Amino acid sequence: QAAADPMSSSDAPEDGPKETSSVSQNISDADAFKILLEMKMKKRQKKPTLPSTVTELDTEDGSKVYVVGTAHFSDSSKKDVVKTIQEVQPDVVVVELCQYRVSMLKMDEKTLLKEAKEINLEKLQQAIKQNGVMSGLMQMLLLKVSAHITEQLGMAPGGEFREAFKEASKVPFCKFHLGDRPIPVTFKRAIAALSFWQKVKLAWGLCFLSDPISKDDVEKCKQKDLLEQMMAEMIGEFPDLHRTIVSERDIYLTYMLKQAAKQIELPRASETEPRKYIPAVVVGVVGMGHVPGIEKNWNSDLNIQEIMSVPPPSASSKIFKFVIKATVFGLMGYGCYRIGQRTVQFILSMPAAQSYLQKLTEIRSRH
């Protein structure tokens, strides 16, 4: 009861704890489950009032999936997520995150804001160590895009996912699933899809991103997420990149939503009692740019094995990797040379060194 409808201790009657304790000793786990489930069903609206950003999808066995299309930097998207979860009281909440980005769910807004703005050498080294040179650089460049938006708006990304996490914890028996493809797979497949010059051109565009953004711009992009729109504009001339970053993830998100929407088995009083199942209710929280793709793939038979494989590095990737390494080592070598040259000049300018050189010259002239 507390999980379904929490109340403050000051509002509870004095004999409440004794009564609850007495009841809890006289009911089985199965009965307690049924009571909580009934309470959840009563709170679940038969005809929920949903925001305009919600798309309703059905499965063959009667389960319902409510996909909330969000803008990753929008306060109204957070409200849409909270409203939807409260109205439908879901069994599962699925968010557009993978295990590599799950830490943002438990970090506070201030810490996230600071983290999103700071892109340093340590983060670059960590990204390269985790994903390889090419994928690590791509990840850092995309983080730079996110950091640019964060700095312009003063708002940390992923607020709608944190709201979904908090709200799901208030719903009895509600599971929380990560629905996005692992980010290293996405970046490695994206890199493999580009030629050498396409990689250079994309990196150049991301490095020099500096257009100002306002909160009004975010709300105007409610029908297409701001971050994804900016990326779409930059990768528009690279159809293979669009396929790996957007279309393939549409397929993966659709697959995960359908997996989450499988029927739920009710608890049984005994092993002899027949199994009973009820349709599931699922809320999906994804960027608005993925909603059309999810709708398109919803009634298709999906196989994600192909889009989870990482192709071997191409010749252009090896060349680009060699160029990056050569550039880094070249700069380090030049830096050492300059430091050494200045050190020698400094030593030679010292009086003791000049006196020693003068004596050495005199000795040589005598012989």
> Which tokens go with 65?
């999936």
**CA-to-CA distance for 117 and 105, rounded, in angstroms?**
17
Q: How many CB atoms lie within 10 A of CB 14?
A: 6
**CA-to-CA distance for 297 and 253, rounded, in angstroms?**
10
pLDDT of residue 283: 98
pLDDT of residue 42: 82
pLDDT of residue 157: 73
Strands 54-58 and 64-70: antiparallel
Dihedral over alpha carbons 345, 350, 356, 361 (to 10 degrees): 50
pLDDT of residue 41: 82
pLDDT in tens, the chain (367 residues): 333 333 333 343 444 444 444 444 567 777 787 788 788 888 887 789 999 999 999 999 999 999 999 987 788 899 999 999 999 999 999 999 999 888 878 776 666 666 655 665 666 666 666 666 556 666 666 666 666 666 666 667 788 999 999 999 999 889 999 999 998 888 888 878 777 777 777 666 656 555 565 566 655 554 455 555 555 665 566 777 778 888 999 999 999 999 999 998 877 767 888 888 999 999 999 998 899 999 999 999 998 999 998 867 656 555 656 666 666 566 666 666 666 666 656 666 667 666 766 776 777 666 6
Cite the beta strand spans of 216-315 per DSSP E.
264-265, 277-278, 281-287
Q: Are 304 and 255 in contact (CB under 8 A)?
A: yes
Q: How far is CA 345 from CA 342, 350, 354, 360, in A?
A: 5, 9, 11, 18
Gyration radius from the chain CA atoms: 29
